[in-house]
Amino acid sequence: MSLVLGIETSCDETGAGLVADGVLLGDGLASSADEHARFGGVVPEVAARAHVSAVVPMVRMAVERAGVSLSDVDAVAVTAGPGLSPALHVGVAAAKAYATALGVPLHGVHHLAGHAAVDVLEHGPLPERCVALIVSGGHTSLLSMGDLARDPVVHLGDTVDDAAGEAFDKVARLLGLPYPGGPAISKAALEGDPHAVAFPRPMTGPRDAPFGFSFSGLKTAVARHVEATHDAGRALAVPDVAASFQQAVVDVLVRKAVRACREQESDTLLMVGGVAANRALREGMETACAGAGITLRVPVPRLCTDNGAMIAALGDLLVRADVPPAGLASTAVPSVE
């Protein structure tokens, strides 16, 4: 049995995790989200500085929580990309230092494959192939996944503009709701009618990319509705707008994810990312998957977002599959497909 240390620094979360044979032993997670809030988005340089401060404490926290000693670590895995370049370099440099000092192999791994690998910790091995929907503040992608240790991640489609979580955050601001917008919108939507406002379902036309997404037009439609309501001197029905916007996002994600499973002949859909915590999305996806004979796998919300456990989980799969480590040749690849 090998003990794998995973390090994640691709965006604003500094994560460390320890996994052995598909079991999460301990992890540590710090976020610099508060430091970016006033800029309205993640600032790479600010994120990188925060990683420099947090990476060693998070590794220590993971080690303490796991009840092991750092010298027990048999391999190190680190997110190589995709992600913010300055942020990735911090994790890669730290991982090289740990691997060198410990005299153990180092694997540079794919962040999106890590999002899928984390589910193995909770629900056991994945089938030979599956479709993954990654919906967060940074990504909205439909992926075809094979053997996570050996096969490349295949992008079926991605957003051409805003990520789904970003759309929730921007629409929340338009509605005067707090950041992060996702939880605020889903709470407001509980009191609203999802059919109150007919917002568009972007990229669902016959000529659109079947698995592509676009959410900036939907945000503009909400902005227009807010403006028109104010111009008409009427009060904005925030719960109705929140529920109608949320329903439009859910409809698009559900429709495309189920279609991708059908086309890929996949009987399993994996849904991860911060937006996967959305109750309407989970319920809509559950119902659609049940109707189509698809098994839906969604990790607990804590593991759905960026964390170190997911990188340790993927490193553990690589170690168990005897994949040769890149070692000190590992490098940050910010825009890897």
**Residues making contact with ligand KG4 (CB under 6 A):** 11, 136-138, 165-166, 168-169, 180-183, 186, 273-275, 277-278, 305-306
For residue 94, what is the DSSP state? H
By beta carbon distance, the residue nearest Zn ion is 306
Q: How far is the CB of 72 from Zn ion (least distance, A)?
A: 28
CB 10 within 8 A of CB 87: yes
Report the partner that residue 141 touches, choosing among ligand KG4, Zn ion, none (CB closer than 5 to 8 A by kind).
none
Report the partner that residue 277 touches, choosing among Zn ion, ligand KG4, none (CB closer than 5 to 8 A by kind).
ligand KG4
Q: How far is the CB of 154 from ligand KG4 (least distance, A)?
A: 21
3-state secondary structure (DSSP) of residue 160: coil
Please say which residue, 166 or 306, places its beta carbon nearer to Zn ion.
306
Query: Which amino acid makes up residue 85?
Result: S
CA 105 to chain centroid, in Å, comes to 26
Please say which residue, 41 or 67, places its beta carbon nearer to ligand KG4.
41
Report the partner that residue 169 touches, choosing among ligand KG4, Zn ion, none (CB closer than 5 to 8 A by kind).
ligand KG4
For residue 13, give both structure tokens. Answer: 């979360």
Please say which residue, 59 or 113, places its beta carbon nearer to Zn ion.
113
Any idea which residue has 């301990």 for tokens?
26
Report the partner that residue 181 touches, choosing among Zn ion, ligand KG4, none (CB closer than 5 to 8 A by kind).
ligand KG4
306 binds Zn ion (CB under 5 A): yes
Q: How far is the CB of 133 from Zn ion (least distance, A)?
A: 13
Q: How far is the CB of 8 from Zn ion (least distance, A)?
A: 8
CB 15 within 8 A of CB 7: yes
CA 124 to chain centroid, in Å, comes to 19
Q: Give the range of 164-172, 208-216, 302-310, 324-332 binding Zn ion by CB under 5 A.
A: 302-310
Please say which residue, 217 or 327, places its beta carbon nearer to ligand KG4.
217
Q: How far is the CB of 274 from Zn ion (least distance, A)?
A: 9
Please say which residue, 119 or 306, places its beta carbon nearer to Zn ion.
306
Q: How far is the CB of 206 from ligand KG4 (least distance, A)?
A: 28
Q: How far apart are CA 272 and CA 142, in angstroms?
A: 11
- CB-based burial of residue 235 (10 Å sphere; 0-12 exposed, 13-18 middle, 19+ buried)? exposed
Closest C-alpha among 99, 77, 79 to residue 89: 79
Question: Which phi and psi angles does 190 have, rounded to 5°?
Answer: -60, -30
Report the partner that residue 275 touches, choosing among ligand KG4, Zn ion, none (CB closer than 5 to 8 A by kind).
ligand KG4
12 binds Zn ion (CB under 5 A): no
Neighbouring C-beta atoms of residue 149, cutoff 10 Å: 19
For residue 287, give both structure tokens. Answer: 């119902």
Q: How far apart are CA 53 and CA 107, in angstroms?
A: 23
